[in-house]
Chain A
Amino acid sequence: MSGGLLGPLEVTLRAAAPIPLDLSFQVAPGEMLALVGRSGSGKTTTLRGIAGLWRPDSGHISVGGRRWLDTGEGVCLPAHRRRVGVVFQSYGLFPHMTAEGNVIAALDHLPRAERGAEALRLLRLVRLDGLAGRRPAALSGGQQQRVALARALARRPDVLLLDEPFSAVDRDTREALHDELIALRRHLPMPVVMVTHDIGEAQVLADRMLVIEAGRAIAQGSTAQVMSDPAALRGLGMREIAAMLPATVAAQEDDGTTRLDTAAGPIWLPGVGAAPGQGVRVRVLARDVILSRARPEGLSAQNILPGRVLSLTPGDGPGVLVRIAVGPDEIIARITRRAAEALALAPGDTVHAILKSMSVARDQVTLSGGAE
């Protein structure tokens, strides 16, 4: 996809204003990093720094060895000379141009005769080729977001930046767009940085997470690592702690549920709209997992997976996070300290994890993308 040689994005930023910032991170080609934090934590400012729309007091940004910013040497490329694709929070579409025109506007590097065909190819990629002639005002929020994505990809960017790209659309549209972004991942060989305040969104979409609080990284690592680290999540709420459990769609049952096979056994979810054989990831919220020493009998909950306790981490409050291996995968349970003591749980113990099936809602099933 990229015209240039793809390389990792390396970022170091320090600033006192508009937000105190002291951050350093890397993103590999094809990898998606989510910058997660509350509003005002500095995540959008960081993104603007990478794009060249804001200049930090000191810092260094390079992509595949090409320097975009090096304050020590006085290097600071303006935004239009950085090969970067940006999807803005409210998209920033050019209102006087059609969807096609918006994409063509970012195709200056191509000969004029080839721009129309390339714009249509990109609009087809985001499944919008039928609406190429519409102006942004005549498109829905989700459609506008897709135009913005097609436009961001048009430049064949060395880095793709997404600034809260799903915050301006309604819930249903957001979930549809999540699935599409996951499906698009194989067309995204460059480093991708996404800003979001929604930890669930970060977990579903990103490979790695960096949690920002007051301009500093308080945690950085794979989404699974960050998700099982209560310290990382203190600013974001323990309620959102969850694990992503890979599964395969096995069958659509007659009662309207869907059977999913995980490595540790089958689970049933209310009708998942995917064909048998399709790989999915099920988001299991830690607060919706109950633990039992013995295999429970006579429960209304159907989804019980045998597992082994990996670790117990006390949180700030009365809760304990328990990481459980279910086959080769991991889930997290959040139980009270009192319950953990009553069960005398220790690493290595065998437990049964009861997943409250109604809580594993359909909207938390996401189609696995090519990045898996």
Chain B
Amino acid sequence: MDWTALYLSLKLAGWTVAILLPVSILAGRFLAYRRFPGRGLVEAAVMLPLVLPPTVLGFYLLVAFGRASPLGEIWEGLFGQPLVFSFQGLVLASVLFNLPFAIQPAQRGFEAVPPEVREAAACCGMSPLRALWTVDLPLAWPGVMTAMVLTFAHTLGEFGIVLMVGGSIPGETRTIAIAIYDRVQAFDAQAAGTMSAVLVAISLAAIAATYALSARVGRRLG
């Protein structure tokens, strides 16, 4: 059992959720309420990571993060270390490939808030920010919550992109999914089995917890 890899996976998933929570709320609300030219294209772009093979996305990210790219260059100039094959690079890649999981359920959540309820909030004198906090967010919360759990669980399980962008550096980029693959390559079926079971248990617990929470919110709203 590679505890370092498990810790790294949880750390990666935690950072991804922390960064994507505000993105999920703001982008989900924006896409749910605003009508603008090119909206369909934006929605399609958000969904793209869902249909592309992870290796394709990983390849583009590798090129975009590489030392030869402007982004890679700026990063290395600022922090003195390359973006690829680093934990930070992994977080950035993880944020990008989780966009559909973070935005789509939140968008559906905001879309479910009746327009009259939102208009009533404005007519009660609430500023848009206050309306978001007291009306939109509590009502769209099951969607946002689902988005965050899916993001968390999906990050734990992602393999292809992590391998492409991060490689398998122990303590830096070797997540539990990569560690399992390594163990299988090394014919260490027992360790691979233990780690797989732990991953299944954590993912199951996370998803079960959201279902339980959503049901509670549903009862509360009656």
Contacts and interface: CB of A to CB of B under 8 A. Distances in A.
Interface of A: 51-53, 78-80, 83-86, 88-96, 105-106, 108-109, 135, 137-138, 151-152, 154-155
B80 interface: no
Contact of B125 (A88, A90, A95, A106): A106
B116 A79 contact: no
Interface stretch (B13-21, B71-79, B133-141): B133-141
B35 interface: no
Contact of B114 (A52, A84, A92): A92
A92 B117 contact: yes
Contacts of B139: 94-96
Interface string B121-133: 1111111101100
B34 interface: no
Interface bracket on B: 20 to 34
Given A53-B122, A94-B134, A108-B130, 16 more contacts: A80-B125, A80-B131, A83-B125, A86-B120, A88-B120, A89-B116, A92-B120, A96-B221, A105-B134, A108-B126, A135-B221, A135-B222, A137-B221, A154-B124, A155-B124, A155-B125
A205 to B, nearest CB: 21
B188 interface: no
B119 interface: yes
Given A105-B134, A135-B222, A94 B117 contact: yes
Most chain-A CB neighbours within 10 Å: which of B120, B127, B131, B222? B120
B125 A51 contact: no
B123 A86 contact: yes
Contacts of B222: 95, 135, 137-138
Given A92-B116, A94-B135, A79 B221 contact: no
Contacts of A89: 116
B122 A78 contact: yes
